[in-house]
């Protein structure tokens, strides 16, 4: 039999497939053709079966699906360290929102470029975003080579992009049209939260999402303060309130879900809504610890996210994995809670289900198996912090937090390898970011004097 032609053959010492069996393969090979995985298995079996146009021999590396960030606000990288050590509502109302109200499309695009660089460097291939001027976020994503689902955030009050939530509807239609033929970028309808919108806005935006055939994402049950606000405004806690409006469904992605009762968890599970867990942001803002183990036991698909760099200070999914595992054990007082494999699932296949809730599970990234998109990340095993390798999944989850990716690939294209970006001019980007410091400080001053 003639070897099958392929664009690229990648080999590595250890491969975490994240397939249904969670196979771990030593001395592994992955054949890639047309941006998708053609074959995967032991190198001794795959190498004679293919005729690659190019080879990439990674050697002492742990090869895994590219990580996926199930919740972030990419452009908030420029607000990293601004307003630390504050509670959620104080942080939002008195620090973040006044500065964001003065944002421009250009500064949003710069922040998104910095976010993409940070995520690519830590092995992230895709993310779901919620912010403003999302065509400019998309321009950064397109330039960097990542995948993204983009959502223009809106409130019941004016934002930098539109005066009313109703003005957002045309924006979403234009956003979808703008990226309709893009192979890596799509959109989601993105109300900010229950307490910052209205019943009419949520119903109308969900109907719009249904008509447009796109996901609907929202911050939900993030803290006890949010619950108190919802009870005061609407007489219901956040999850029952959203359920009463008919906006919980398979297209719905709920970000955070920290303050949730058993009945509310069952309601989420029955609806088919997905949940993104953001442990570092929740800890930093003292919002609480999400009942992740109970959500998973109820059958909810829970992905892992970082939230924005203003409320986390990091967009590293490696760090998010370790914190997710440790926080779950602390919250439940059970060292067996949320084992390493479940956490890796949350950062790969589950996160991709949150980013693409309307797609068939086998059609999205998150696992290394035939016909899946060729989104890969590799981490060096000759890093002292990752040795010895008794259990590679545990090593990646518990010991990988300080590591950078040796390789990040999306759609079969190498975006980052051994400290070098293929699409990003890092010195020029960092020079522009440095210039933004004075600009952000000026915005702070303007907000304080307003």
Q: What is the Cα–Cα distance from 282 to 276, expressed in whole angstroms?
A: 12
Whether the predicted pLDDT of 446 surpasses 80:
no
β-pair partners for 187: 150
Please state the φ and ψ torsions of residue 237, each to the nearest 5 degrees: -70, 160
Whether the predicted pLDDT of 1 surpasses 90:
no
- 445 pLDDT tier (thresholds 50, 70, 90): confident
Query: Measured in whole angstroms, how far is the alpha carbon of residue 212 from the centre of its chain?
Result: 22
The beta-carbon contacts of 157-161 under 8 Å, at least 24 apart in sequence, are 157/196, 158/101, 159/100, 159/101, 159/132, 160/100, 160/101, 160/102, 160/103, 160/104, 160/132, 160/133, 161/132, 161/133
All domains in the chain, ordered by first residue: 4-65+374-421 (2.30.40.10), 67-356 (3.20.20.140)
Please state the φ and ψ torsions of residue 201, each to the nearest 5 degrees: -65, -45
Query: What's the average model confidence in pLDDT over 2-19?
Result: 97
- 122 pLDDT tier (thresholds 50, 70, 90): very high
- 449 pLDDT tier (thresholds 50, 70, 90): low
Whether the predicted pLDDT of 252 surpasses 80:
yes
Q: What is the Cα–Cα distance from 390 to 343, expressed in whole angstroms?
A: 18
Q: What is the Cα–Cα distance from 314 to 320, expressed in whole angstroms?
A: 9
Q: pLDDT tens digits, residue range 361-392?
A: 989 999 999 999 999 999 999 989 899 999 99
Whether the predicted pLDDT of 167 surpasses 70:
yes
Q: pLDDT tens digits, residue range 253-270?
A: 999 999 999 999 999 999
* H runs (alpha helix) in 61-123: 88-91, 97-100, 105-121
Query: What's the average model confidence in pLDDT over 142-147?
Result: 98
Q: pLDDT tens digits, residue range 67-113?
A: 999 999 999 999 998 888 888 788 888 888 888 888 999 999 999 99
- 201 pLDDT tier (thresholds 50, 70, 90): very high
DSSP 193: B
β-pair partners for 304: 277
Give the 3-state secondary structure of residue 362: helix
Q: pLDDT tens digits, residue range 291-331?
A: 999 999 999 999 999 999 999 999 999 999 999 999 999 99
List the structure tokens of 222.
Answer: 């993030």
Whether the predicted pLDDT of 450 surpasses 70:
no
- 397 pLDDT tier (thresholds 50, 70, 90): very high
pLDDT at 92: 81
Buried b (16+ CB within 10 A) or exposed e, 145-166: bbbbbbbbbbbeeebebbeebe
Task: Assess contact for 11 and 60: CB atoms under 8 A.
Answer: no
- pTM as predicted: 0.96
The Cα-based distances of 328 to 8, 157, 295, 323 in angstroms read 39, 36, 12, 8
Q: What is the mean pLDDT of the chain?
A: 95
For 266, residues 6+ apart whose C-beta sits below 8 A from its C-beta are 298
List the structure tokens of 385.
Answer: 């912090």
Neighbours of 356 (CB within 10 A): 24
List the structure tokens of 286.
Answer: 């003292």
């Amino acid at each position: 039999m003639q070897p099958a032609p392929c664009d690229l053959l990648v080999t590595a010492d250890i491969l975490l497939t994240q397939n249904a069996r969670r196979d771990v393969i030593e001395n592994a090979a992955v054949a890639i053709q047309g941006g998708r995985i053609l074959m995967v298995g032991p190198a001794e079996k795959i190498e004679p079966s293919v005729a690659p146009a190019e080879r990439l021999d990674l050697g002492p590396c742990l090869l895994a699906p590219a990580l996926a960030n199930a919740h972030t606000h990419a452009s908030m990288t420029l607000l990293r360290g601004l307003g630390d050590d504050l509670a959620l509502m104080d942080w939002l109302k008195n620090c973040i929102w006044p500065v964001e109200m003065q944002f421009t499309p250009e500064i949003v695009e710069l922040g998104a470029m910095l976010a993409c660089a940070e995520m690519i460097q830590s092995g992230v291939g895709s993310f779901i975003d919620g912010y403003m001027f999302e065509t400019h976020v998309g321009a950064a994503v397109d330039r960097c080579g990542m995948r993204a689902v983009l959502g223009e955030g809106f409130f019941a009050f004016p934002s930098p992009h539109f005066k009313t939530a109703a003005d957002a509807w045309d924006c979403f239609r234009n956003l979808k049209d703008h990226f309709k033929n893009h192979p890596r970028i799509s959109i989601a309808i993105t109300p900010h939260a229950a307490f910052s919108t209205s019943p009419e806005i949520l119903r109308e935006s969900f109907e719009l999402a249904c008509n447009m055939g796109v996901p609907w994402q929202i911050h939900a049950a993030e803290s006890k303060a949010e619950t108190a606000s919802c009870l005061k405004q609407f007489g219901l806690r956040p999850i029952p309130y959203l359920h009463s409006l008919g906006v919980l469904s398979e297209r719905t992605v709920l970000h955070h879900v920290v303050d949730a009762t058993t009945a509310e968890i069952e309601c989420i599970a029955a609806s088919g809504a997905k949940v993104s867990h953001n442990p570092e942001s929740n800890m930093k803002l003292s919002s609480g610890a999400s009942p992740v183990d109970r959500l998973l036991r109820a059958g909810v698909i829970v992905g892992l996210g970082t939230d924005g760099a203003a409320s986390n200070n990091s967009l590293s999914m490696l760090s998010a994995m370790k914190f997710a595992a440790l926080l779950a054990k602390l919250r439940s007082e059970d060292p067996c809670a949320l084992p390493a494999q479940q956490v890796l699932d949350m950062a790969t296949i589950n996160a991709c289900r949150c980013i693409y809730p309307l797609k068939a599970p086998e059609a999205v990234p998150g696992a290394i198996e035939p016909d899946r998109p060729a989104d890969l990340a590799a981490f060096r095993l000759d890093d002292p912090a990752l040795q010895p390798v008794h259990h590679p999944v545990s090593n990646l989850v518990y010991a990988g937090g300080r590591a950078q990716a040796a390789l990040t690939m999306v759609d079969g294209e190498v975006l980052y390898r051994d400290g070098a970006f293929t699409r990003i001019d890092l010195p020029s980007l960092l020079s522009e970011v440095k210039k933004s410091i004075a600009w952000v400080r000026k915005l702070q001053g303007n907000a304080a004097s307003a």
